[in-house]
Amino acid sequence: MSVDPYSHWHSDQSSGPALAQRLDRLARRLMPGGATALIIVILAAPTGIPGAAALLPGLVMSTVFFWSVWRPASMSAPVVFLLGLLMDLIGFAPPGVDAFVLLLLHGIAVHTRFGLMGLSFLAIWVVFSVLAAAACWLLWAMISMLSLNAMPTAPALFEVLLAIGIYPLTAFTGMWLHRRISNPEPQS
């Protein structure tokens, strides 16, 4: 409202390039969230990928964790919330459960990101493994509580293992995207 660094620049330029630039920046900014939403939708389709239902939470968790650590501007709390809600609605889980767990994961990642960014890849992987295991079991506990029925533990265990296993893939893809495609100007 008060000080816009670009205000003098807007005034004497036509709005065309500025608008395009803004749209471009917005698209780049929303890319991680959009890609994750796309993954959620695609994995719910009957693609015949084995274990797609168990893979989805781990994949989303690793994506949220990665972007929360490396670029929280692209994976803000509202985006995480919407992703979680989409997962809940598509997966017919009790609504809000995935959103809550993902937000906790996001919060922890954002608050410890400066510590995490100094660590090696293996150390971050270990941290993520612990967090993902905790998140999966929290998810299990909450779904069991809300459906008043103890859910089987085998899928949760499988989910944890897949989450840990998928992290390197997510991290390398994310690193590449982070460097190459979606590197907008610093936002804040």
Partner 1 sequence: MIPVSIQIRQALERVWLPAMLLLSIAIMLLGWANQRLTNTARMAVADVLSPVWAVIAEPGEQLSAALSELRGIGHLAQENARLRAENETLRGWYDVAVSLTEENQTLKTNLHWMPDPVPSFVTGRVVGDAGGLYSHAVLIGAGPQSGVRVGNVALAASGFAGRVTETGVHSARILLIDDVASRIPVTLETSHGTAIMAGDNSPMPRLMYYAQDNHPIEGERVVTSGQAELLPAGLPVGTVHYIRASTPVVAPYARLDHLSILRVFDFDSGTIDSPDAPGRVPVAPLRQSGAVPGRDNPMEGMTLGGVVEGLSGRALSGTGGGGPGATGDGNRSGAPEAGGGSDEDGTSSPAGGEPDDGGGTGVPAARPPVPGNG
Q: What residues line the site for partner 1 (CB under 8 A)?
A: 1-4, 6-7, 22, 25-26, 41-42, 44-48, 52-54, 56-57, 76-78, 80-81, 84-86, 89-97, 99-100, 103-104, 106-107, 110, 140, 142-143, 146-147, 149, 151-152, 155-156, 159, 188
Q: Judged by CB, which is closer to partner 1: 14, or 188?
A: 188
CA 134: distance to chain centroid?
16
CB of 180 to partner 1, least distance (A): 23
Neighbours of 59 (CB within 10 A): 21
CB of 103 to partner 1, least distance (A): 5
Q: Judged by CB, which is closer to partner 1: 48, or 179?
A: 48
Q: Judged by CB, which is closer to partner 1: 22, or 169?
A: 22
Q: Who contacts 138 (Cβ-Cβ below 8 Å, separation ≥6)?
A: 101, 104
CB of 166 to partner 1, least distance (A): 15
CB of 113 to partner 1, least distance (A): 13
d(CA 15, CA 12): 9
Q: Judged by CB, which is closer to partner 1: 2, or 120?
A: 2
Q: Who contacts 30 (Cβ-Cβ below 8 Å, separation ≥6)?
A: 74, 79
CB of 168 to partner 1, least distance (A): 22
Between the alpha carbon of residue 57 and those of residues 65, 91, 141, 156, the distances in Å are: 12, 10, 15, 10
Q: Judged by CB, which is closer to partner 1: 20, or 175?
A: 20
